[in-house]
Amino acid sequence: MWNDRSAFFAFMILLLTTPPLLADADARIEARLEKLLPGYEIDSIRETPIKGLFEIIMAPEVAYMSGDGRYLVEGRLVDLEARKDLTEPRRAAARKQALDRIGEDKMVIFAPVEYDHTITVFTDIDCGYCRRLHREIAEYGAAGIRVRYVFFPRAGVDSDSYKKSVSVWCADDRRRALTDAKAGKRLETKSCENPVEEHMQLGQRLGLSGTPTILLENGTVIGGYISAKRLAAQLDAPTP
């Protein structure tokens, strides 16, 4: 079975150094979640600073579960002594992980020749503030910001906004079609294989309630319109 002696010894070291109770807890939690949420991919299970409580990531969701797999806890975990939110950084990372799974080949991207930052914008073609943001797309580029669009037609599947999103995706020039659509120009109706419903499902799992919603490179969420100048200043500000 073991052709590589180094692999065998690495496996034995892993067995000897893995705490049995932790391994058992992982197995119980994973079995419980697979039964309750079939089809959901479990990205990680890890201990929290609270004994017997485990962090569960199913990107983009973060939740907590008892080691026996019986109790599920939703909400923020806060270290009052350190005055630190332990959950939000993990949620941000999980959002980024979920976006990475979609992939840039399923996004409409406006990129300047040189840029320092990339943002992802959940957009509705018929949303007023989404259109306002897009009117400044050249200013975003001038500020060194690359914009990746994913579609979130709030009226749902088969709405006019949804059909416009599909037509944009199926156009020969997606960026031109998106710009025209946001300017209120009539698009040629087109249909093809597209990622619009996948975008919508992710937006729903993220709990989006409006558009535009902006995700920064680290997964931080900015709800609503923000000017290119203000966003650039925020992105360039030193990290505290």
Active-site residue list: 124, 127, 130, 154
The Cα-based distances of 48 to 8, 43, 56, 131 in angstroms read 30, 16, 10, 43
Q: How many residues are given for the chain?
A: 240
146: left (phi over 0), alpha (psi -120 to 50) or beta: beta
Closest to 133 in 3D by CA, of 195, 189, 174, 178:
178
Closest to 99 in 3D by CA, of 120, 125, 115:
120
